[in-house]
Structure formats: structure tokens, C-alpha cells
Amino acid sequence: MKSLGILLSGRGSNFVAIAESIDAGRIVDARIALVISNKADSPGIDTARQRGLNALVIPSKGKAREEHDREVVAALKTNKVDLLCLAGYMRLLSPWFVQQFPRKILNIHPSLLPAFPGLEAQEQAFAYGVKVSGCTVHFVDEELDHGAIVVQKTVPVLDGDDEHTLAARILEQEHIAYTEAINIVLGGKFEILGRRFVKSSQNAEVRMQK
């Protein structure tokens, strides 16, 4: 049984989608060991509590990045988290944090990276006038919205769209993409060639023993 950790800052719909996928058996052999929010008033942390999950607020306000990151990492390690999923966690992780969980941190971003990194990606894509946008689940590395891409889903931009209708259709795909990516990564049958995440027939641990 693998233990997932979730970091969030807000609404938490991606977290709920992951929790529902576990409950429905779309993600097997995994549990959510811990949900952490850096904001006490995030709806996502209330939902985690209502679902009876281990939910923790570790406030970031007024703390240096590394100080906050050390508290978060300590909680994740105490709970023996195998895979960490950022789900609307609106904070950059320090390089030190990333190094604590090599290839074990996933993030979801509401655009087809490398287009439109950073904040308000859906608005950026809409304003730019792209005809296709979407979402990306990727490994987290030391750079913003940058690590190897695990899953992408495309979403057409319709003539009648505004940034809200586009964001809503992207969000539906985010929920599907995150479950897909978690299953692939927990399955362990992949390798990363340069920046390219490719499925392989063998488990990464098996390959490393050879």
C-alpha cells in the first residue's frame, strides 16, 4: 500500500478527485496519508477533515521559505509519504524540499506546458488567443512548472468561451489527468530520458538492481 501526501492552498477539487478515485478503485493500493494546507482557511483542508483524513495546517505566512518547507517535509516523513501530489499548492518548493523526494513529487498545472507557466494560466492562454489549451501533470524539479511531463490533456478553446468556461473545462480534464498520472507513477514502469517520461516494461527499482 503506497501512501500519498497532498499539499494544497485553496479549493481542493484536485485533491477531492484523487480521494474519489481511491474510494472508487480507480487508484488501487494507495491511501492518502496526509493532507497539508499552508492556509488555515482553505476549503480543501475542511473537506479533508470532513472525509476523516489526516489534515494539517502548516501556515506559511511570515516564515522564511526553508523554515516552512522543513516543517512540511518533517510531517511528510513522519507519515512515510511515498508520493507527494501538489494540488493547487500556491507556493514554490525550495530546492532542498525537492531534493528530499527525488522523482516523488507531482504537480498539476492548468495549461499545456511549457506554454503559460506561473499564475492564472487559463487566463493567460485565453488572452493569448490559443485554439487549444489543456493541463499538464509533471514531476516537480527545482524550476517553476518545469519537470518531466507525465500526462497532458488537451482542451479546445471555443469561440463562445470566456476565461471561466475555459478554466472549468480544463479543470474536468485535470481531475482525469491526475488519476491517470498517479497510476502510472505508482506502477513504477517508466523511465525518464532527458526530459522525456516514457513508459517501460520494467519497474525502475528492478532496472536499478541490474
Region near ligand GAR per CB under 6 A, out of 3-11, 66-74, 96-104, 149-157: 3-11
Q: Decide: 137 and 151 in contact? Cβ < 8 Å.
A: yes
Region near ligand GAR per CB under 6 A, out of 5-13, 62-70, 156-164, 201-209: 5-13
146 annotated active-site: no
Residue in the block written with cell 497510476:
183
Q: Judged by CB under 6 A, does residue 87 bind ligand GAR?
A: yes
Joined together, the cell numbers standing for residue 169 give: 473545462
Q: H-helix or E-strand containing 177?
A: helix 163-187
Q: Judged by CB under 6 A, does residue 108 bind ligand GAR?
A: yes
Q: H-helix or E-strand containing 21?
A: helix 13-23
CA distance 72 to 53: 17
Q: List 102's β-bridge partners, or say none.
A: none
Member of 4, 13, 81, 166 binding ligand GAR (CB under 6 A): 13
Q: Judged by CB under 6 A, does residue 10 bind ligand GAR?
A: yes
Q: Judged by CB under 6 A, does residue 12 bind ligand GAR?
A: yes
Region near ligand GAR per CB under 6 A, out of 9-17, 64-72, 147-155, 188-196: 9-17
Q: Judged by CB under 6 A, does residue 110 bind ligand GAR?
A: yes
Q: Judged by CB under 6 A, does residue 174 bind ligand GAR?
A: yes
As a whole number of Å, the CA-based R_g of the chain is 17
Q: H-helix or E-strand containing 150?
A: strand 149-156
Output the smallest distance, CB 191 to ligand GAR, in A.
Answer: 26
CA distance 124 to 49: 33
Q: Which of residues 35-64 bind ligand GAR (CB under 6 A)?
A: 44
Q: Nearer Cβ to ligand GAR, position 109 or 153? A: 109
3-state secondary structure 24-78: CCCCCCEEEEEEEECCCCCHHHHHHHHCCCCEEECCCCCCCHHHHHHHHHHHHHH
Member of 48, 83, 157, 171 binding ligand GAR (CB under 6 A): 171
Q: Judged by CB under 6 A, does residue 121 bind ligand GAR?
A: yes
Q: Catalytic pick from 109, 138, 164, 175? A: 109
CA distance 121 to 167: 9
Output the smallest distance, CB 36 to ligand GAR, in A.
Answer: 13
Instruction: State the residues that interact with ligand GAR by CB under 6 A.
Output: 8, 10-14, 44, 87-88, 108-110, 121, 145, 171, 174
Residues annotated as catalytic are 109
